[in-house]
Amino acid sequence: MPKTLSFMGFELPKVSPTELHRFEPAARIKDPVKFAAELDALIQEKMAAAEQAAAGPADVRDQLADKARALRAETRWTPSATDLQRGRSAMLRVFEAPQNLPLTQFARLAHKSRQQIYKDLSAHPRRLLALSVGPRKQRLPEWQLDPVRLNLTRQVLKLAEDLDPWTLFRALSDPLDALDGRSPVDAVTAGNLDEIVAKVRSALGLHERARA
């Protein structure tokens, strides 16, 4: 069915003060110029609303698709060699930080054998979090030497089995707004463990699994 307002999309002629004489029997106009401007604005608004209402679903979809295309980049961004080198350098600085311990040192401080540490790292779900960069040997955050923080780490490893270690490391060690700028490993206590786990889950965008 053709639209009844076929002139939509074109700018309508402005209402002139002379044309306002037709309103004299019904209204007293003190300022014809201002009244004409307000009347013209009202008509334009009504016509725009009518045009939007008259647009069919396909028209609306086309309009939304056009807006989506305008927001989409013509070419997909890919990191340059320099970007990759900077990222790797940043990872190495974190990896080699004193608080991330070589496996042998971590095992000694945890009073465990290296074999037990390897078992904890390869268990499903993992029982320890370890970082690696390329062929370098693994390093373990020292916070896992603390029983409460180790419990937090293990619960996060269990609920996020498919996430890579660096993502989990950041989720546990970076400040969170929900914790007033503290990191989960700094904020956790035996009394608020469940609350901290829930906040880490939320930061990772994970849904709580339904209990059987």
| Residue-by-residue DSSP string for 3-54 | -S-TTTTSPPPPPPGGGGGGGTTT---S-HHHHHHHHHHHHHHHHHHHHHHH
Q: Same domain, yes or no, for 107 and 46? A: no
User: What pLDDT was estimated at residue 90?
Assistant: 86
| Dist CA 143 CA 129 (whole Å) | 10
Asked if 10 and 48 touch (Cβ cutoff 8 Å), the reply is no
User: What pLDDT was estimated at residue 15?
Assistant: 72
User: Dihedrals φ, ψ of 162, to 5°?
Assistant: -90, -5
The model's pLDDT over 41-96, given as tens digits with 9 standing for 90+, comes to 788 777 777 766 665 566 667 777 777 777 766 666 666 777 767 777 888 999 99
Please give the single-letter amino acid code of residue 49.
Answer: A
User: What pLDDT was estimated at residue 27?
Assistant: 75
Q: Which domain holds residue 39?
A: 13-52
The two structure tokens encoding residue 62? 């086309």
| Dist CA 152 CA 174 (whole Å) | 14
181: pLDDT strictly greater than 50: yes
169: pLDDT strictly greater than 50: yes
Neighbour count for residue 57 (Cβ, 10 Å): 7
Q: Same domain, yes or no, for 99 and 163? A: yes
Q: Same domain, yes or no, for 193 and 106? A: yes
Q: Same domain, yes or no, for 101 and 188? A: yes
| Dist CA 30 CA 21 (whole Å) | 12
Residue 131 forms beta bridges with which residues?
A: 139
| Dist CA 140 CA 109 (whole Å) | 12
User: What pLDDT was estimated at residue 159?
Assistant: 92
Q: Same domain, yes or no, for 30 and 118? A: no
Q: Same domain, yes or no, for 47 and 100? A: no
| Dist CA 198 CA 81 (whole Å) | 38
The two structure tokens encoding residue 142? 């020292």
Q: What is the mean pLDDT of residues 156-163?
A: 91
pTM exceeds 0.85, yes or no: no
Asked if the structure places residue 173 within a domain, the reply is: yes
Per the structure, the count of domains in the chain is 2
Q: Same domain, yes or no, for 24 and 120? A: no
Higher-pLDDT residue of 23, 163: 163
Q: Same domain, yes or no, for 104 and 40? A: no
